[in-house]
Structure 1
Amino acid sequence: MNSSIKQNFGQEYHNSLPQLGHSIGQILQFFGVKRVYGVGGDFVANLINSLEPYVDVLPSSNEMHAGFSACAQAEVTGFGVCLSTYTVGSLPCISAAALARTEGLPVIFISGAPGENEIAQHALHHTIHPHTAWNSDLNAALNAFKALGIRAERLQGQRHTGQPNIAAQQFFELLTDAYLNRQPVYIEIPRDLIYRPTQVLSLPTTLESLRVQHLNLSGADLIANEIHYKLTQAKAPFMFLGEKLRLNSALLERLIKLCHRHHISYGTTWFAKGMVDENDPLCLGSYNGVFSNTPFQSYIETVVDYVLEIGTAIFPSDTNNAFGSQTHSIDNHQNKTMLKGTARWEQDIQAVVALLEPKLEVPLALERDRRIELLQTQIRPLPNGVDNSFTIEGKISYANLASVINTVQDSLVCPFIFVPEVGNAFFASFELKTINNKLGRSFFANPWYAAMGTSLPYARAIADELKQQQIKQTIVVITGDGGFNFQANELINLQKQHADITIIYMRNNVFHLGKAGDAPIYACNDNGFDPKMLIQAYGGKGHYCETIAEFMATLTITAKGGMHLIEIPTSIEPEHQSDISKKLNTYIGFKNDDPDANLLWQELCRP
């Protein structure tokens, strides 16, 4: 005869067992989670009730947006959580899960699931089950997330009446895996387990203690010696910082201090834009070969005599490496040391830096004044006629948008946080100047996976964190009308949180980036649509600007707070596009075998 837990281990032990739902709440708190984004539903209702004492369970306009907000939460705080119901809720999160996997974000996708006592020979609602099927597929969502290369598991209940379930331990292990490996995980939780007793956990004292592991690598001293030698021989060294450092602020800060101590110039990859202060005199901006729009491009390509590349991707992405144009001088630099960071949490890089710092106690013999002079003389005009100067009487367009925003930002006490939408707006935004702030980041985008419709869910999560930290700062979303129409329903949550956000709405009524014809699929808008009225319906203010003077005055006003939308009519003619977008459209045409684009691309890539 099977005994109960009480009979097996005693009354006192039985009384000490917590409910699984409460253990999940405590585990989320341990990982620093303060907010969960999601959409409610029947299979997840019990969990929502259990989580309320531990975290804020916040609504999103749909499950995909909940996933995108959780991705932004991971970018801002280091950990994100999305909550949904079984299959009809979790499957729409697949796009956000792909984004998290691609960007290396620890996002926990939690889904309710049928109770273990409900599984029988009949189809449950929400089950992927055609009427002609001989069996129901209860694992459709698990398999879908697994297909992305994501660890996906369903928590298990009690398997013996005398033993408590270990579902809380399973949940903790899954979150630990996401935290250590900076990858998303998907967890299904049967709804009948939430109020069941689970084994008591003894959580570690600190989150950082999870990262304590012996680095089973040797040779760091030899690498540090090599870097030290090359730095002492260089006259114009350059530290190239990669996107892996976005979630390792301590290491990033250490490297920037090293640059300042020895007057070493530094810059970032495209994917790392926004993680450093581009107002710093030593910062040369974000570099990406022929697609760069940093005035220091010539210095990087012709003067830099040693590159220390740290934290860049193991497998290079075409986006981040000048779209395979072979114009990325850092890729091809003859005198370079690469520290990619192949160990968890870049422990191998940290080991090298720890050994390098004592070797550099004596300042490097860099001719600082001479190098600053070189920097100034090597500043070149931006290519293809792009000019950072402008006249306020002129028309505002993608061609001058970033320069005008930079000018307004320079006049403000508090800089902007930029959230560009995928499309022309995103590529025009690489010319923006990102300035350090209390949040630690000033530019949030997803250039690798490039999922359209993320900027407002991202802005929502950033606004939540600003409110949590009591930081007064304006978020600037830059979007085309196509991208805006993907996500306008998220405005309701920005309204509810009284977010300080300015949406710069670049209107041309078409999906322009990559446009290769006149098929109706490119038409994303109707001339009768008035976004100013829409923003008013959500409690915001609408503005309309055609000239640079109007835009500068309006942006200065909106920076004071509140929710605003600035509609800007913009042409799709080449002279009104940003330099990077023109190059990218040429690249897309070249890859699609357009003969005219082929000639232009070959000309563009000529040294």
Structure 2
Amino acid sequence: MVGANMRAHCAQNLGTEYANSLPLLGDVMADILTLFGCKTVFGVGGDFADNIISAFEGKLETTPSSNEMHAGYAACAQAQISGLGATLTTFTVGSLPCSSPAALAVAEKLPVVFISGAPGEQEISDTLLHHSVASSSEWMLKYDCALESFRALGMRAERLQGARSKGQPNMAAERFFQLVAHAYANKQPVFIEIPRDLVFEPTQALKLPQTPGDVNHETYVLDGAQHIAEHIVEKLNQSSHPLLFVGENVKLNTRLCEQLRNFVDKFNIPYATSWLAKGVLDESDPLSVGSYNGVFSPDHVRYYIEQKVDYILEVDTSIQSQDTNNAFCSGTHVIQSFENKTMVKGTVQNQQGLLHVFEQLLVSDIPVFQTLLEEKRRPVLDDNDSVDFHNLADALNDVQSQLSASLIYLPEIGNSYFASYSLETKRSSHCRPWLTNPWYGAMGSSLPYARAVAKTLKSSNSSDIAVVITGDGGFHFQLNELIHFQREHLAVVILYMRNNIFHLGKSGESTMYHCSTPRFDVLTLVKAYGGKGLQCKTIGELRTHLQSAVESNCGIRLLEIPVDPNPDKLSREISMLNLFIQMKNGKQGAKEAWDLAVAG
């Protein structure tokens, strides 16, 4: 009735034909999300979100998550895969749990649209509504707690508004478009509250662009790309062992990634990535040195970069130095202080300046370098050896080398995350083959990430498969998300590294480090989710069971791997980080041990 009244007033003011052309807000919101490549909205249903769910039905896939935080993490993964992710929750009690994935999206520059249902404009009065963040002793009404919380993270956050003038349609759809376009173009999350009484209200008609690219016509591009390219060409012509060092800001720009691949292939230039850019370029390629992070890197990576390279072209690392990426401020990241280096960073929208530089480089007179990397030597693995963190990456690299499919690795924060830096990822046509939450949102994101990946792979009929690597602590934190793998018939392989403790950073025997018990039967648990579980104690068992899981490419496959927590069974990355943490915490003898390890 409210919508009919508004349309009648609009007809009287602006004409019947225009009034009849006005769409409903909910329909336009679905069209806008679809325009930017978002086909799935992850979320949890709720009272204030119900109208939005109804409006999206038949237009978008509205898929449930086990909780709002997991919905946010799945949307973060979807943003990395398709260019835009979206969540839908109810007012405050639903939206506030999304603050952790929102922080991740801010830090990782992910275009995620966090949508929250909100009380209708007709409901706002002097009575506090349920879901409001206020106690019975409050003197002030608070309806903006969620908006303020997301703004505190540095995000654009806005509540859409209805008509403010009789006979003039509201501009809610236009505001929704501007916010989503901002997220897409600037690779930043946004938070939007939708009053529930606006969803089925007529709104201003929009003439949407034909493609997302039509939104991104830059009116300003930095000048001087030709001069930068000429300087780089001069440096390359004076070099015999150059290196392209790729930073994390490249990861969502498919066009720039393609240019970088063309650049290294045309001139035969080796490349490495920062830790947070791992998987952006194919690590199985002969030109790949791997991912570099000072003393935390494998010896062969350190040797080539620190001893052989004579010129570095550093592309789009972070604007401000980050401790995760610069060897945790340990002073061992040689690239940071490398003298003969050119740094180019994407400081304008969509890295247009960098695109212009590499367009020039690709047609420049640069020699084809003859330097060949040493052939990668994989250690000979004995099938009878036990599997632990120190040889997990070698075992997985061996299996990956035998497969035509790509393993899409999703390591959980903890030992699994750091051990994954020695993995050699293989390019996938569907998504980055190494997707993770590097610290920002803490533990609990690998299964929601894997769900978004598995849905994408399934819809593409791909033979690639999501492989979650998780400790028992990280698994317990999020295993309720498995119900949706079961419900949607998604394929995933879970490598469950079992030691019953939180081991990363562990420097004592406090019960605080204990996260499980030997009595827990994970194989029975996964069976309840319709999956199959097997225990792998040896390299041979891991190889056999993993290859079988990849070939079947269906359902949940969990491989329980008992791991030894002793220091000699940890990966290099974990051992070094634990020692570094102990040194920074002033543990006795740690400083001397650290200095010895750094000296090599």
Smaller-chain TM-score bracket: over 0.9
For the pair 1:499 / 2:490, whether they are aligned, the reply is: yes
For the pair 1:298 / 2:296, whether they are aligned, the reply is: no
- Note the alpha carbon deviations across 1:48-93, whole angstroms, 9 max, x for none: 0001122100000000000000000001111100110000100110
Q: Residue 384 of structure 1 aligns with which residue?
A: none
Shift of 1:523: 1.2
Report how many residues are paired. 592
For the pair 1:388 / 2:409, whether they are aligned, the reply is: no
1:121 is aligned, of 115, 119, 126, to 126
Shift of 1:493: 0.7
Using the alignment, how far apart are the partners of 2:241 and 2:503 within structure 1?
Answer: 41
Taking structure 2 as the reference length, the TM-score comes to 0.96
Q: Residue 319 of structure 1 aligns with which residue?
A: 324
Give the match's secondary structure for 2:336: coil
Shift of 1:517: 2.5
Using the alignment, how far apart are the partners of 1:461 and 1:311 within structure 2?
Answer: 27
Q: Residue 474 of structure 2 aligns with which residue?
A: 483
Q: Residue 527 of structure 2 aligns with which residue?
A: 536
**Structure 1 residues 454 and 365, CA gap change in structure 2 (3 angstroms):** closer
Give the match's secondary structure for 1:605: helix
For the pair 1:407 / 2:405, whether they are aligned, the reply is: no
- Note the alpha carbon deviations across 1:385-421, whole angstroms, 9 max, x for none: xx93332211111111111111112122212111000
Using the alignment, how far apart are the partners of 2:359 and 2:62 within structure 1?
Answer: 41
For the pair 1:63 / 2:68, whether they are aligned, the reply is: yes
Using the alignment, how far apart are the partners of 2:277 and 2:105 within structure 1?
Answer: 16
1:50 is aligned, of 55, 58, 69, to 55
For the pair 1:159 / 2:158, whether they are aligned, the reply is: no
**Structure 1 residues 203 and 519, CA gap change in structure 2 (3 angstroms):** same
Matches within 5 A, 1:80-159: 80-159=85-164
Unaligned runs of 5+ in 2: 1-5
For the pair 1:36 / 2:41, whether they are aligned, the reply is: yes
Q: Residue 374 of structure 2 aligns with which residue?
A: 376
Using the alignment, how far apart are the partners of 2:463 and 2:166 within structure 1?
Answer: 54
Using the alignment, how far apart are the partners of 2:152 and 2:509 within structure 1?
Answer: 35
Q: Residue 338 of structure 2 aligns with which residue?
A: 333
Conservation of the 8 A alpha-carbon contact between 2:413 and 2:439:
no
Using the alignment, how far apart are the partners of 1:211 and 1:480 within structure 2?
Answer: 42
Q: Residue 421 of structure 1 aligns with which residue?
A: 412
For the pair 1:75 / 2:80, whether they are aligned, the reply is: yes
Conservation of the 8 A alpha-carbon contact between 1:151 and 1:184:
yes
Using the alignment, how far apart are the partners of 2:54 and 2:596 within structure 1?
Answer: 62
Conservation of the 8 A alpha-carbon contact between 1:389 and 1:403:
no
For the pair 1:439 / 2:430, whether they are aligned, the reply is: yes
- Note the alpha carbon deviations across 1:107-158, whole angstroms, 9 max, x for none: 0000000000000000100001101112221001111111111111000111
Matches within 5 A, 1:541-580: 541-560=532-551, 561-562=553-554, 563-580=556-573
Q: Residue 3 of structure 2 aligns with which residue?
A: none
- Note the alpha carbon deviations across 1:409-435, whole angstroms, 9 max, x for none: 212221211100000001011111100
Unaligned runs of 5+ in 1: 382-386
Shift of 1:294: 6.5
Q: Which runs of 4+ in 1 moved over 6 A?
A: none
Conservation of the 8 A alpha-carbon contact between 2:437 and 2:446:
no
For the pair 1:588 / 2:569, whether they are aligned, the reply is: no
Conservation of the 8 A alpha-carbon contact between 1:438 and 1:471:
no
Q: Residue 449 of structure 1 aligns with which residue?
A: 440
**Structure 1 residues 495 and 606, CA gap change in structure 2 (3 angstroms):** same
Residue type of the partner of 2:562? P
Residue type of the partner of 1:197? P
Give the match's secondary structure for 1:81: strand
Using the alignment, how far apart are the partners of 2:47 and 2:458 within structure 1?
Answer: 30
Using the alignment, how far apart are the partners of 1:357 and 1:547 within structure 2?
Answer: 48
Q: Which deviates further from its counterpart, 586-595 or 240-249?
A: 586-595
For the pair 1:513 / 2:518, whether they are aligned, the reply is: no
Conservation of the 8 A alpha-carbon contact between 2:132 and 2:143:
yes
Percent of residue pairs bearing the same amino acid type? 47
Residue type of the partner of 2:591? N
Residue type of the partner of 1:172? F
Q: Residue 20 of structure 2 aligns with which residue?
A: 15
2:515 is aligned, of 512, 518, 524, to 524
Q: Residue 182 of structure 2 aligns with which residue?
A: 177
2:192 is aligned, of 143, 168, 187, to 187
For the pair 1:599 / 2:597, whether they are aligned, the reply is: no
Q: Which deviates further from its counterpart, 320-329 or 573-582?
A: 320-329
Shift of 1:205: 2.2
Give the match's secondary structure for 1:205: coil
Q: Residue 349 of structure 1 aligns with which residue?
A: 354
Using the alignment, how far apart are the partners of 1:577 and 1:507 within structure 2?
Answer: 13
- Note the alpha carbon deviations across 1:201-233, whole angstroms, 9 max, x for none: 011222112111133422222111100100111
Residue type of the partner of 1:326? G
Using the alignment, how far apart are the partners of 2:356 and 2:280 within structure 1?
Answer: 22
Shift of 1:26: 0.7
Residue type of the partner of 2:458? K
Using the alignment, how far apart are the partners of 1:168 and 1:182 within structure 2?
Answer: 21
Conservation of the 8 A alpha-carbon contact between 1:20 and 1:168:
yes
- Note the alpha carbon deviations across 1:484-519, whole angstroms, 9 max, x for none: 000000001111222221100011111110123222
For the pair 1:273 / 2:266, whether they are aligned, the reply is: no
Q: Which deviates further from its counterpart, 41-50 or 269-278?
A: 269-278
User: For the aligned residues, what is the CA RMSD?
Assistant: 1.6
Conservation of the 8 A alpha-carbon contact between 1:509 and 1:524:
yes
Using the alignment, how far apart are the partners of 1:328 and 1:247 within structure 2?
Answer: 25
Using the alignment, how far apart are the partners of 1:605 and 1:340 within structure 2?
Answer: 30
Shift of 1:278: 1.2
